[in-house]
Structure 1
C-alpha cells in the first residue's frame, strides 16, 4: 500500500505553494497577483518563526522525537523544508519580476542605479545625503564593537571592509527606519521608485570612508518565535505583565533564517553565520526585494485603475433580518445565520449594542481571541459595562502575534468595569462564543452566538466565516456551562448538544465517524463532509481511513495542511480532498455526518488538529434550523463543484485545478452574487 500520510510541515509548504500559484495566475488581476506574492512571503516568515523554530528546538533536545505520521525526525523534516523553500523562493523571484515588468505599462517601476541617468543619480545622492545619512547609525564589528543585535524581519546593509593593512571588518547599517520613506520617487518620472535600502547599500563606500569595500549585500534575519508561555509562567506573577515580558523575549530569540540580496563569498557568509549562531543551511539568496511589504503602497497608487484589482465587493445586508426591528427579538423568534464576508457583520454588532442598552439585559459574556485594532465589538462590551451590565470577557493573551493588541484591550475592558479573565493553564481558549442573558418578566432568556471566526470587523470582510445566533435553551444551557467553567479555570467535562474541546469534541467526532462506518457496513449510504483549515489529528485521520475502507464517502475541503493523502487503493479511495485558495481566506469550519436526509450539521471554531481537539477550548454547535442547515449543505455542494480556485489533491499528495470544459464555478464569487441578488430582491 502506498503512503496515506503527509508530513504536516511539507503539507503546509504545499499550501503556500498554492498561494504562490495565485501570484503566477494570469487570470488574477495584476495588483492582486502582487498581493499574493507578498502573502506568500509573510506566510513563510511566520512558518520559519513558529514551525521551523519548533523543529530546531526539538532537534536541540537530542531526543528521538519523530513525526507520528511519517516517522521523520526533526533533522529530516528541516532538510526537506529547506530544499522545498529554496525551490519556491526561486519561483517567487521569477513571478515578482514578471509582475513588476507588467506594471511598467501603468507607469510603476522599481528601478536601480544601473538604469538611472546622471540627473536621477544626482537627485538620489542629494536625497541620501540630506534625508538618510544624518539619521542612519553605522556599526563596525571589531574587538571593541561587538556584533549588533539584528531585529526580526528588518533589513540591514552589510559590507565587507578592508583596512589599509589588509585586515577585514564588517560594517552594518539598519535600513528599516520610520524616519525616511522606503519608496523614493525619482524626479520627472512619476511612479518610478528606488528602495531606500538599495540607496543605503549603494552609498556604503561614502559611509565607511578610509576602507576599501570588498563585498556588500542586504540581509534580513528571521528569529524563532516559538515560546511555550505556559511552561515559563510563574503563578506569583501578574499574567498580563508576564505576557508583556514574553513578547519582549520573543523579539530576542535565536535567528532561524538569513536572507541575502547579493551573492557573497562563502567565508563572509560563514562569518555572518558565526555571529548569528546559524547553520549555513538556513541561508537563502533572493534576487528580489527581501521584504515585499512596500507592495501595498504601490497598490494604493494604482487604485484608479480598476482592472488591476478584483471587482469591488461589499458585504450585503442579510435577508435573515428585518430592518427596523430589534435584532434580539428576531433571534428569539428563530435562529439566525450570517456568512462572512458575503453578509455584513452589522446585525451582530447591532445585537451587541442593543444588549448594552436594553434595560432587561443582565449580562454579556464573550470569548475574544483576535479582535480589530479599533474594535467595535470591544467598544460594545465597554458600553454594556458602563451601562451597568455584568460583562465577562475572556481575552486570550496567547493569541500568537496578537498578544500586544489583546493586552491593551484587556486593560481598557478592566477600566470600564468588565470582568476580564485570561484563559486556562495549558489551554488556549480559541472558541468563538457569546451569550446575552435577559430577563423578560419572570422569564430568563438567553441569546447565544457561536461562530467559526474571530470577532474582528476587518477580517469579517476578508475571511469566509459563519455565525449562528440562537435562543435554543439546550445550547444556551451548555454555553453557560462553558463560561462558568472558564471563570473557574476549568474545562467542560460533559455535553449533550455542543461539541466542546478539549474533553467533548474529539471523542464525539470519532463516535459520529463510527456511526457512518456502521451505516456503511449495514449496506446503507454513509457520508462525511468536512470543511476546515487543517487536518492533522492522527486519531481522526485513522478513523477516516477506516471509514473509507468501510465504504463511507468522504469529502474534505481543507484549505491548508492536510496530513491525509486521498485516493490510495484499499485505504483512502473513498476520500476526496480539495483546497480552495482564492480572493478570500477560507476560514469557516463545517462538519457534516450522515447521508442525505439524516445529516448532522455543525459549525465550529475547531480544525481537526491535535492542538485544537485536545489542547484548546473550542466549540462546535449543531445547526438545527432546517433552512439554515439546507443553506450550509448547499454551500458545501457549491464549494465541492468549484473548478476555478479549488485544487484537488491526488494520490501522490499533489494538488491540481481540474481541467474542465464545464461551466466555470468560483464558489466565492457565487456566494457573493447570491448575497447581492438576495439583498436586491429584498429591496424590491
Structure 2
C-alpha cells in the first residue's frame, strides 16, 4: 500500500465532526440554558448522529467494502481505520448522552413534565393505557415470527421494532412487532401535567397479548440505521430519463441499503448479539445500547404542550424576527432596494422583505423575468406561491431546483411539479454537480433600459429555518452584479459551469481560485495582513495549505467554523497565527462571510460555499462582493462580536479539542447581542421622494391586479 503524506497541522474530518456534535451535547449540559431547551439540544445531538451514521459512516462502509486502501490525506487513515476510530469515539458519547438525558428528565419532573416507565404508572393510568392499547394500537399492529417458514424481515431505517424470544413447546423463535409510524410516538396520560409514555414501551408491556399462544421472554426494542449515502448513478442520467423519476427510484433504494448501526434498549445476550450481527452483517462494535429514546422528535411537541405559566421557566424567552432595520415600513421594498443595498440578518430580522420583493415583482408590469436557484424549501412556502403568481401574470419565471438536496428530495420533487403546473420553467442540476447557490434575479424595464435587482444569500429560501438559522441575505440593484447574475442563469440553462464573471465568484471554477488569490494579497502584506472567514466546515486541502502559508507569513487568521475543521491552530512552525472559533448557541450558525484586509480597503464577500472540496469543486456556489460601505462595516462588526463571544464560543486547541474561553471582563453572547440590537433598531424615516415612489409602485401593482381580474 502506497503511503499518503499527511500534514502535522491537519486532522480527520469525521473525528472533527464528532467533536462538533459533542459541543451540541455540551449545550444540553449547560445549566444556564432552560431545561426544555437543553432537552432539545439532546434531540438535535441525536438527529445529527443519526445523519452522520447514514451519510458519513455509510460512505466509509462503501469504501471499506471495496477493499479501499486509499488513505485520508488529512490523517493517513484508511476507511477501515476511520470506521474503527469512529465507533471507538461514539461509544463514550452514548454514555454521556444517556446521562445528560436522565439528568434533564429528572429535573423536569417537579414541573409536571414526566416521561414514564410502565411500572411508574398509577393503577388508573395502567387501566387507561391497557384500554388504549387494546382499542387503538393492537388492531393496527403487524406482528410476525421468524422461523424456518418465516424469513427475517427487512427492517426499515430508523423505525423502531419491539422484539422478543417466543417459545412454544420445544420450539423457540424470534417475534418482531414494528411500531407503526402512523400512530403517535407517545401516549399522553390524562391530567393537567404533561405525563407521557412512549409507544414502544406500551407495545413491549403488552407483548403477551400480541403473541397469545407463545411464552414471551427477552423483551427488547431495537432500531437499525442504514447507509443513506446514495446518489443517482451516472449511467441512469445518461439515458435522458425524467430526472424526477430517477430521484424517486433513488429514494426507494435508500430504504434497503446496508445496516451501519444497531441500537438496542436492553443489553443483548451473546446468542442474540451473534444472531443480529449475522442478519445485518455487522460487527459487535456496531451495536449501541441506549437507555434513552431512540427517536426524540416528540420532544418538540411536548415543549408546545407545556402550560404558558411554566414556559418562562423551561424555555427560552420567545423572540420574533424583527422588521428590517434598513427598510422603511409601509413602503415598496423594490423601490427602496433600487436606491440602496439592503442586508437582512436572519433570524434577528424577518425574511418577509425578501418575500415582499418577490410578491411586488410578481405584479409589477415593468418586471419581465424572475430567476432563482432553490436548494431547500419549507413544507409551506409563500415564495412558491409568489413565483407561481408571477408566472400566471405572464412573467418568465425560471426556477433551478436541486432535486438531490439530501433528505429534502421528495419535498423538492413535489415543489418542482407545482411550479411547472403554474407555468414556471423548471431546471435541475448537473451530472456530478449539485447547485447549492442562493441567488435570485429580477429583471425589469426602466424606460428603455434593462435593469436588475439581485438577491444573494448565505442560506436557503426556507421560511421555517430562517427563524432558526443565522444567515445573511443581500438585496442590491448594482447593475454589474445583476449582469453577472444574468450571465450565471444563462450559463445554468445551457450547461456551462465555467462562465466568466466580473463581480460574482462562482464554483466549481472561479470561487476557490478567487479566495486563494485574495489570501495571497494578504500574504504579501505579511504581519499587516488580515483574514477573517466564517463558515460551517473546512476540509479543502488547497485552502488549508493557503491558511498555513498565511500564518507562516505572519498574517493573523481567524476562522469561525461551526462544524468540521480539519486544520489545527497553534501548531509550531505552521499555524501559530491561526485561531479557530466555534459558536454553538440558541440558533444554528450558518452564514458564510469572507473578509480580506482591514479598514476601507477590506474586501468582503458573503456566499453559499463552505471551504470544503465538495463545495469548491463539486457544487455550483455563488459568493458576492459587498460594495455598500455601511453593510461592509455591519458584517465586520458582527464578526468582531462573534470573536469576542465568551459564553457560547469555544476555541480549538492544537490537538483538535475545544474549550470555552476564559471570561475576562464583560460577558458576551453574540447571538443575544444581535437579538437585542434587532429589538432596539429603528427603521429609517420615509422621505418625501420615497413616498411618491411608493405610490407609483403600488399604483402599478393595483393596475396589474385589476388587469388580471379583468
Same fold, TM-score > 0.5, yes or no: yes
**Deviation at residue 312 of structure 1 after TM alignment:** 1.1
Choose which of 565, 568, 583 in structure 1 pairs with 2:568: 565
Which structure 1 residue ranges, 4+ long, deviate > 6 Å from structure 2?
A: 680-683
Residues 159, 224 of structure 2: 8 Å contact kept? yes
Partner SS, residue 614 of structure 2: helix
Match of 1:231 among 234, 246, 255: 234
2-structure distance, mates of 1:127, 1:424: 51
Tell whether the 8 Å contact from 1:396 to 1:423 is kept in structure 2 after alignment: yes
CA distance in 1, matches of 2:497, 2:445: 27
CA deviation profile, 1:601-648 (whole Å, cap 9, x unmatched): 000100000000000000000001000000001001000000111011
Residue 229 of structure 2 aligns to a residue whose secondary structure is coil
Provide the C-alpha distance between the structure 1 equivalents of 2:684 and 2:336, rounded to a whole number of angstroms: 20
Within a 5 Å distance, the mapping from 1:87-98 to structure 2 comes to 87-98=92-103
- Cα offset for 1:598? 2.1
Partner of 1:18: 23
Q: 1:303 to 1:666 in 2, by over 3 A?
A: farther
* TM-score, structure 1 normalization: 0.97
Q: What secondary structure sits across from 2:600 in the alignment?
A: coil
**What is the match of residue 35 of structure 1?**
40
3-state secondary structure, aligned to 1:55: helix
1:448 counterpart = 2:454: yes
Partner residue of 1:276?
280
Aligned mates of 2:7, 2:480 — CA distance in 1: 46
The residue number in structure 1 matching 2:56 is 51
Question: 8 Å contact 1:499–1:619 — kept in the other structure?
Answer: yes
Q: Please say which of residues 584-593 and 61-70 is displaced more in the overlay.
A: 61-70
1:137 maps to which of 117, 138, 142: 142
Unaligned runs of at least 5 residues, structure 1: none
The residue correspondences of 1:208-219 to structure 2 (distance < 5 A) are: 208-219=211-222
616, 620, 642: which is aligned to 2:619? Answer: 616
Distance 1:439 1:638 in 2: 41
Q: Among 608, 624, 636, which residue is 2:639 paired with?
A: 636
Q: Distance in 2 between matches of 1:251 and 1:496?
A: 45
| Secondary structure in structure 1 of the residue aligned to 2:327 | coil
**Alpha-carbon distance, 1:659 to partner:** 2.2
Q: Distance in 2 between matches of 1:512 and 1:177?
A: 52
Is the 1:156–1:176 contact (alpha carbons within 8 Å) kept by the matching residues of 2?
A: no
Task: Say whether residues 1:377 and 2:380 are aligned partners.
Answer: no
- Among 679, 691, 704, which residue is 1:676 paired with? 679
User: C-alpha displacement at 1:232, in angstroms?
Assistant: 5.1
1:254 to 236, 240, 258: 258
Deviation at 1:287, TM superposition (A): 1.0
Residue 123 of structure 1 is matched in structure 2 by 128
Deviation at 1:20, TM superposition (A): 0.5
1:158 paired residue number: 163
Alpha-carbon distance in structure 1 between the residues aligned to 2:677 and 2:253: 48
Match of 2:513 among 502, 507, 520: 507
- Equivalent of 2:409, from 400, 403, 410? 403
User: Aligned partners of 2:541 and 2:497: how far apart in 1?
Assistant: 23
Q: For the Cα contact (< 8 Å) 1:216–1:264, is it kept in 2?
A: no
2:344 equivalent to 1:341: no
Q: In structure 2, do the counterparts of structure 1 residues 118 and 311 end up closer, same or farther at CA, with 3 Å as the change threshold?
A: closer
* SS class of match (2:378): coil
Alignment of 1:530-569 (within 5 A): 530-569=533-572
Shift of 1:387: 0.2
Cα distance in 2 for partners of 1:240, 1:2 equals: 43
| Structure 1 Cα separation of the partners of residues 371 and 608 of structure 2 | 17
Quick check: 1:173 aligned with 2:182? no
SS at match of 2:663: coil
Q: Secondary structure at the match of 2:599?
A: coil
Q: How many residues align?
A: 678
Out of 650, 674, 684, the residue aligned to residue 647 of structure 1 is: 650
Q: Once the 2 structures are TM-superposed, how far is the Cα of residue 682 of structure 1 from its aligned partner?
A: 6.8
- Name the CA distance, whole Å, in 1 between partners of 2:670 and 2:197: 40
* Partners of 1:391 and 1:188 in 2: CA distance: 53
Q: CA RMSD in A?
A: 1.6
Could you tell me how far 1:256 is from its partner in structure 2?
1.4
What secondary structure does 2:601 align onto? coil
Question: CA separation in 2, counterparts of 1:458 and 1:33?
Answer: 21
Alignment partner of 2:200 out of 197, 200, 203: 197
- Which of 7, 10, 22 in structure 2 is aligned with 1:5? 10
- Shift in Å at residue 491 of structure 1? 0.8
CA drift of 1:536 comes to 0.5
Quote the offset at 1:527 in angstroms.
0.5
Displacement of 1:189 in angstroms is 7.3
- How far does residue 497 in structure 1 lie from its aligned partner after superposition? 1.6
CA contact (8 A) 2:325 2:684 kept: no
TM-score (norm 2): 0.93
Structure 1 match to 2:392: 386
Work out which of the residue numbers 484, 498, 503 in structure 2 matches 1:492.
Answer: 498
Q: Within 5 Å, give how 1:290-301 maps onto structure 2.
A: 290-301=294-305
